[in-house]
Amino acid sequence: MQTETVLKITNLNTYFQTPDGNVSAVCELDIEIKKGEILGLIGETGCGKSVLGESVLKVLPYNAISTGSIVFEGGELMGLKQKQMREIRGRKIAVIPQNPSEALNPLVKNKKQIYEAIDHNGKAKGMEKKKQSIRLLQKMHFKEPEKVLESYPHRLSGGMKQRVLAAMGLCGNPSLLIADEPTKGLDAIVRSQVIETLMLFKENTGTAMMLITHDLNFATKVCNRIAVMYAGELIEVGTCYEIFKNPIHPYLMGLFLAQPENGLIPIDGVSPSLINLPQGCRFHDRCKKASEKCKRFHPEMKKTTLTHEVRCWNP
C-alpha cells in the first residue's frame, strides 16, 4: 500500500526581479513529502531552502515570481489568491518560524495569542477556549500550562517559545508543518528542547514536516529523508541513512568535513552568484573532481538506488 503524498512540487522556479538582473533562488525543483514523513532540507545560507518554504506558503515579496506546480493534498496552490491561502496557512499548513522571539508579540500575553490561533481554526468560547489552550500546552509537555497562559513571551526560554508556537500550530490539525531553521542561534539545551518539540508535534498529529536547516546533526536526529540544496537546486536526495552513511555529491561530502567533529575543514571557494549562474555543474569551480564535462554541461538528477538520487557527472 502506497503512502499518501501530502505535498508534491514539480518544476518549481522562483526568482526575484532586481535592477541587476533576476536572482534565481529556486530552479526546476521537484520534491514530494509523504504523510507522516519528516523531510530535511539542508544547505548553506543563500542556497534557496527558505525561499522554497516561502514559495509553498505563498509569502514571497512583491518582486518574486514563481512558476511550476505545488500540489497540496491533491489541490494546486500556485493559482490561489491570498484570501484562499489564508484558509490553508495556519490550518492545514502550520509554520514554526525561524525566530520564535519575533513571532510572538512581547506586549501580549501568551493566552491571547493562543486564543487568536484557536479562533482562526474554529470557534470556541470562554472556558472551553481556556481548556483547549491548556490541552494544547500539555501536549507540548508544559507542566504548568495555566502559568504559561498568564505569562508574557519574554518570561519563557527559547525552547518554551518554540513549544508555544507548536501548540498554536496544533490548533488546526495540520497536514504539513514547515519549520524554518528552528535551531538557529540556540544553545545545546534549547536545541534538544526543539528536537523534543518537533517529535512531540509528529507524535500528536502524524503530520508531515518540511524541516529547513543547515544543522546536519539536528537533521540526523529528526528526519526520515534528506534533500540537499546548492545554488538554487537539489543536488542529492535520499533516506537519512543513505545521505549520512553514503554521501555521493562532493558538496555534501564537503559539508560533512566542515562539521566541528570532522575538523572544520572548509569547502574551497564561494557559492556562485544566483544572478549569473555557471554553465555546467554549479559546484564545478569548488570541486576537486571536476572535469571538462562538469564545466560545460549541466547534470540532471539521476537515481543510484530506488530512494537515492544525485546531480553529479562523477559520483
- Structure confidence by residue, pLDDT tens digits, 192-250: 877 887 787 777 777 899 999 888 888 888 899 999 999 999 999 999 999 999 999 99
CATH homologous superfamily for 5-310?
P-loop containing nucleotide triphosphate hydrolases (3.40.50.300)
For 113-149, give one letter per residue: b (16+ CB within 10 A) or e: bbbebbeebeebeeeebbebbbebbebbebeebeebb
Query: Other C-beta atoms within 10 Å of 51: how many?
Result: 24
Cβ atoms 193, 159 nearer than 8 A: yes
Distances (CA, A) of 27 to 10, 51, 133: 11, 11, 41
* pTM attached to this predicted model: 0.88
Cβ atoms 208, 222 nearer than 8 A: no
With 0-12 / 13-18 / 19 or more C-beta atoms within 10 angstroms meaning exposed / middle / buried, residue 239 is middle
Cβ atoms 226, 238 nearer than 8 A: yes
For residues 226 and 255, give the distance between their C-alpha atoms in angstroms, rounded to a whole number.
14
Closest CA to 141 of 125, 155, 162: 162
Report the relative pairing of strands 176-180 and 208-213 from DSSP bridges. parallel
Closest CA to 141 of 70, 188, 192: 192
Least confident of 2-16, 112-126, 267-281: 112-126
- Structure confidence by residue, pLDDT tens digits, 124-163: 777 888 998 998 898 888 889 999 999 999 998 877 887 8
The three cell numbers of residue 144 are 504548568
Helix (H, G, I), strand (E, B) or coil at 286: helix
What share of the chain has pLDDT > 70, as a percent?
A: 97
- Residue identified by cell 470556541 is 124
Query: Other C-beta atoms within 10 Å of 160: how many?
Result: 21
pLDDT beyond 80 at 304: yes
pLDDT at 10: 98
Report the relative pairing of strands 233-239 and 309-310 from DSSP bridges. antiparallel
Mean pLDDT calculated for residue range 163-177: 84
Please state the domain extents for the chain.
5-310
Least confident of 192-196, 265-269, 280-284: 192-196
Distances (CA, A) of 84 to 25, 43, 121, 204, 315: 25, 31, 14, 27, 44
Q: Count Cα atoms within 13 angstroms, Cβ side, for 95.
A: 19
